[in-house]
Amino acid sequence: MGRPSTLEDKRREFLPIVAGAFAELGYRRLTSAELAARCGVGENVLYRIWPDKHAMFLAALEWVYLASERTWERLLAEPGNGESAFLRLLSHEARHLGEYGLHRIVFAGLSETDDPRIRAALQDLYAKFHAFVRRQLSAHRVAGAPGGLDAETAAWAIIGLGTVANVGRELGSIGASRRESILWDAGRLVAEGRIDAEADGPPRKKRASAEKKRRK
């Protein structure tokens, strides 16, 4: 009886928009009016889907992490022509950094760490992120790579490298080639525990013509 609810459809439809908006503006600066406008509906519609703004942010946080992870998983599933999955991931991130705005949302959240829900969500996100990196790192090492640092530490260190690279890009303080060096050179060093003199750059895709990527 009555009209069937479409809220679940809308939630799925709006999530990427919501996540993008939070990533772009941060928590405080994104108003519910602006968010509703971006979704093309009235504010009350959003409030029918989520109880309050915090919930919208949490949903965005979760979504953006899952989106990133999905990208990585897809990347790892690709046929790795000789290279370890870990190195492929590293070289990918060295070039396409933070496509989904993960770090931006995280930074926004870090200014709201007094809210226990947001705090818990961030802890969870970092735990999953760290576990993911660590898992890839271990697999990489088992596959024959040396490995100097203890894996737990190395995984955190690699997350740190990604973070500076993102901040540096955001501020325009670190150029593309430098970012690549930070992720690839320092990343391999941290992962493998030594400098590999022979290879001096992340392996490019076949044709170097794929340079012009979408940069919004």
Task: Give the footprint of its own copies on residues 55-114 (CB under 8 A).
Answer: 107-108, 110-114
Of residues 41 and 76, the one with the C-beta less far from DNA = 41
Given 194, 201, 205, 210, the residue binding its own copies (CB under 8 A): 194
CB of 30 closer than 8 Å to CB of 21: yes
Task: For residue 88, give both structure tokens.
Answer: 């492929």
- Binders of DNA among residues 138 to 167 (CB under 7 A) are none
Cβ contact 19:63 at 8 Å: yes
- Structure tokens that stand for 7 in this block: 């809220």
Spatial separation of the C-alpha atoms in residues 190 and 215, rounded to whole Å: 29
Residue 26 engages DNA in binding (rule: CB under 7 A): no
* Residue 5 contact partner, candidates its own copies, DNA, none, CB within 5 to 8 A by sort of partner: DNA
Q: Per rule CB under 8 A, is residue 189 in the interface with its own copies?
A: yes
Q: Which of 126, 104, 99 is nearest to 22 (CA)?
A: 104
Task: Check if the beta carbon of residue 24 is closer than 8 Å to that of residue 104.
Answer: yes
Q: Is 181 helix (H, G, I), strand (E, B) or coil?
A: helix
Q: Hunting for tokens 């790892």 — which residue is that?
A: 76
CA-to-CA distance for 113 and 52, rounded, in angstroms?
17
| Residue 167 binding its own copies, by CB under 8 A | yes
Which listed range, 46-54, 120-128, 144-152, 178-186, lies at the site for DNA (CB under 7 A)?
46-54
Q: How far is the CB of 60 from its own copies (least distance, A)?
A: 14
The distance of closest approach from Cβ of residue 169 to DNA in the complex, given in angstroms and rounded to an integer, is 27
Interacting residue ranges for its own copies, rule: CB under 8 A: 26-29, 107-108, 110-114, 119, 122-123, 126-127, 130, 148-150, 152-154, 156-157, 159-165, 167-168, 170-174, 178, 181-182, 185-186, 189-190, 193-195
